[in-house]
Amino acid sequence: MLAIAAVIAALLLTDSATAARPLHTSNDSLSNLGVVDTLTAQTLEAATPLGTASPEMNVVLLNSGGSGGGSVSPAKAPPAPSGRIGPVVSYAKSQPGKRYVFGTAGPNTFDCSGLVVAAYKRIGINLPHSTYSLINRGWAVSKASMKPGDLIFPTGSGHVGIYIGGGLMVHASNPRTGVKISTVYGTWRIRRIV
């Protein structure tokens, strides 16, 4: 019950601009999203399943943790590759620091799949604005075969980023951290588009 009280207290402090709507569907669980550990997720979900709470509570729950990977300075990222994929990687690398807003695909705010859509649009490829649709695009590649521009699905939680080389990815992480460059923190699925 203490965890629920903490969530409610945090709810009162949530910025109303980021509390516009839920960020994930009721099919997601808090532990699958990487927000909280399994025991805490079970306690919170028993009280208020994600997707059935008010939009503000969903945002608070998701802001309590979220899409991982330690942040890396854009200056430490490897240079964009040459060739057709170069503009995709260059565009993605130029977006860190922009805000995460669910349902957007740039130019000033992004969600995770929106960043992918905007980056690939630079080379004339139109992709669906849905992580669950993106996972079926292109072809699967192994972690050992990753190349810049590949789509990284770190976990089964419905998150996607763009691999930029050197063990790094760019992703629109969550409303608290926005777009950032992170170390690749999981490789549940990897898809190559080009």
* Catalytic residue positions, numbered: 112, 159, 171
> Which residue has tokens 């992703």?
171
CA–CA gap between residue 138 and residue 190 (Å, rounded)? 10
DSSP 82: S
Bridge partners (DSSP) of residue 110 are 100, 105
Q: Phi, psi at residue 191, to the nearest 5°? A: -125, 140
For the chain, the distance separating the N- and C-terminal CA atoms, rounded to the nearest angstrom, is 49
Pick the closest to residue 119 from 194, 184, 62 (CA basis): 194
**How do the residues of the chain divide into helix, strand and coil, expressed in percent and rounded to 5?**
30, 15, 55
Instruction: Give the tokens for residue 193.
Output: 């588009």
